[in-house]
């Protein structure tokens, strides 16, 4: 059985579904859970500075990331009895999806995780070409076992 699960969360419904699955696995095996959000300040550069309530893009990414982690912690607390000692961690990646995926994989390795859990929206065709797949990038970079939960709708915003 798995002893330590690292779960990527991004605030999406798909991410919440993956988190609920991870909670079931963790509860069954009495495993440790670590919830991780990879924040990218560059994603906030598309906003006009007057829309930011923080002084910098990095501050905005950190504030949003902490909110995502708090919401994920609430989901975890209500998901399965017997889950205790859930950790949260915020990572910053200043480039693109490839660096974000590598940050997640490296963190999971350093923490001694034996399962990495994330959601995917299962895009195909043109949307996959344009948007890419974070889950696919993680899969290519990780040597850890992965539990990838596909969205129920099969489309929508990008994954964790």
Q: Is residue 159 part of a domain?
A: no
Q: How many domains does the chain have?
A: 1
Per residue in 16-35, pLDDT (tens digit) is 999 999 999 999 999 999 99
Per residue in 46-93, pLDDT (tens digit) is 655 555 565 678 888 899 999 999 999 999 987 777 787 799 999 999
Between 159 and 142, the higher pLDDT residue = 142
- Where residue 120 sits, what CATH number does that domain have? 3.40.50.620
3-state secondary structure at position 6: strand
Q: Is residue 156 part of a domain?
A: no
Burial class (CB in 10 A: 0-12, 13-18, 19+), 87: middle
Cβ-Cβ contacts under 8 Å for 59 (sequence gap 6 or more): none
Q: Is residue 160 part of a domain?
A: no
Q: Which helix (H) or strand (E) holds 13?
A: helix 13-29
Residue 78 to residue 74: CA distance in whole angstroms: 6
Domain residues for the domain of 79 are 4-150
Between 133 and 55, the higher pLDDT residue = 133
Tell me, what's the pLDDT at 120?
Answer: 83
Per residue in 115-128, pLDDT (tens digit) is 999 988 655 544 44
pTM over 0.85: no
Residue 60 to residue 43: CA distance in whole angstroms: 10
């Amino acid at each position: 059985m798995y002893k330590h699960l690292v779960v990527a969360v991004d605030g999406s419904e798909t991410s919440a579904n993956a988190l609920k699955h991870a909670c079931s696995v963790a509860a069954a095996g009495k495993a440790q859970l670590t919830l991780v959000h990879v924040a990218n300040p560059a994603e906030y550069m598309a906003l006009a500075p007057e829309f930011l309530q923080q002084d910098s893009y990095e501050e905005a990414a950190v504030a949003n990331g902490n909110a995502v982690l708090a919401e994920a912690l609430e989901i975890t607390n209500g998901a399965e009895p017997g889950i205790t000692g859930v950790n949260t961690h915020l990572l910053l990646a200043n480039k693109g999806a490839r660096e974000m995926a590598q940050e997640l994989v490296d963190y999971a390795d350093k923490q001694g995780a034996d399962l990495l859990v994330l959601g995917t929206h299962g895009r195909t065709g043109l949307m996959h070409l344009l948007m890419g797949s974070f889950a696919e990038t993680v899969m290519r970079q990780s040597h850890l076992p992965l539990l990838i939960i596909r969205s129920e709708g099969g489309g929508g915003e990008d994954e964790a």
